[in-house]
Structures are given as C-alpha cells and as structure tokens.
A and B are shown apart, each in its own frame.
Chain A
Amino acid sequence: GENVEQHPSTLSVQEGDSAVIKCTYSDSASNYFPWYKQELGKGPQLIIDIRSNVGEKKDQRIAVTLNKTAKHFSLHITETQPEDSAVYFCAVYSGGYQKVTFGTGTKLQVIP
C-alpha cells in the first residue's frame, strides 16, 4: 500500500516568516495531492491541492510544489500569521477506489 511520510512533525516560526512542510510518497501511480488544515476542535479543511500533471500551484500565501520524479511534494506558507497555527496534513490518492492516505501531520505554531 501507499506509504506517506510527513516532516517535520512540529514547526515553530516567527510571524511573517515562511513555513515549509514536506511529504514523500511511495506509489508512483499517485495522482492527487491535497493538503488539509485542522484547527483545534474542528475537522480537517482542504486548503490547496495539486494533480500529477502540474508542478506548482499557488493560492495567495499558500503554494504546493510537486516533484513526481523524486516522489515528494511540499506546502509553502509565506508571510505566516498567528491564524495559520494549526495541524497540517498532506494526503495522497492513487486512483480508482483506492483510499486516500494521510500523512501524520505537522503542528505549526506561528509566534507573534
């Protein structure tokens, strides 16, 4: 089955700095890579996603990059704000009725 590794598990940054979270996966057939943000007491919320035919996608301060050859993808958050503090999960989907496999999560703390 798919194996997804997410690093780091915790990340502290100063407000205004950038944060980068990386995930690696094992199945070369994987074709959809979403990122979810989970705030305390809430369910995960989709914040950005990318498909395998695209190398990079941006949405305001958030971007995702995908390296299919190396089988890794990263979430980039620029100009971090305290409200970015949350747990971030990457996920990988390999097609058909295969399940979505989630990474183990990164707890991001933005220090004001």
Chain B
Amino acid sequence: DSGVTQTPKHLITATGQRVTLRCSPRSGDLSVYWYQQSLDQGLQFLIHYYNGEERAKGNILERFSAQQFPDLHSELNLSSLELGDSALYFCASSGQDIPYGYTFGSGTRLTVV
C-alpha cells in the first residue's frame, strides 16, 4: 500500500456520461498530480494541485476538470465521455510543491463503452 488511495478501482460507463475519480494523497503530502495512462500515449500529465491551488496544467481536455479540497483529497471530473477516454487514471502525491519523489496510487481503470 503506497498510502495514496484512489477510488473506484474500476469504472465502466457509457459515452456521453460524466464520472468523478477520487484521490486521497499520502498523509502529510500537499501536492496531488493526475496522470492518464493509455497504451499508445504512455503516462500523460493532466494537472497538479498544491494545497488547494492549481499549479500546472498539462494535456488536459476542456471536458476534464479537477479540484483539491481543504482536506487535501482531489477529484478528477470527466464529462461528455468518449471511447478514447478509456484509460488508467493515476494520481500521485508528493510532500513538496515540486514533483520530487512521487508516490502513485493504484489507479482507476475507466472503460467507456
């Protein structure tokens, strides 16, 4: 157990729907990073939050949004889902505002049908 908790582990949903993925960082970590992992794209950075504030955005679609709450857990919202959004979604946490030494969660496997 890495200490980073992601729920749910698996999610199957239809095209056009909206889902919310949840991440609880390791105790004491203030940074949460979201990544998308697909077979042909590898690990793609989506977004980074530090202590509730957005710090950096990567290749995140406009249909996707995220936030980090006062208790430091984070949610990634995916809407108007398309087949191509099927992937593993990982969050990682770190104790600093910079990504030294990520700890990844075990991921959420999203399947859009």
Contacts and interface: CB of A to CB of B under 8 A. Distances in A.
Interface string A68-112: 000000000000000000000100010111111111110000000
Contacts of A101: 45
Interface stretch (A21-29, A37-45, A58-66): A37-45
A102 B42 CA distance: 8
A14 B99 CA distance: 35
Contacts, number: 55
A98 B48 CA distance: 10
A45 B42 contact: no
Interface stretch (B65-73, B74-82, B101-109): B101-109
Given A99-B56, A99-B58, A105-B42, A45 B2 contact: yes
Contacts of A42: 106-107
B43 interface: yes
A42 B106 CA distance: 5
A43 B100 CA distance: 17
Given A32-B100, A99-B48, A99-B58, A43 B106 contact: yes
A98 B56 contact: yes
Nearest to A98: B56
Interface residues of B, number: 22
A43 B43 contact: no
Contact of A102 (B43, B103, B106): B43
Interface in B49-102: 55-56, 58, 90, 92, 98-102
29 contacts: A32-B99, A32-B100, A34-B101, A34-B102, A36-B102, A42-B106, A43-B2, A43-B104, A43-B105, A43-B106, A43-B107, A44-B104, A45-B2, A49-B101, A89-B43, A93-B100, A95-B98, A96-B98, A97-B48, A97-B55, A97-B56, A98-B56, A99-B48, A100-B45, A100-B99, A100-B102, A101-B45, A104-B42, A105-B42
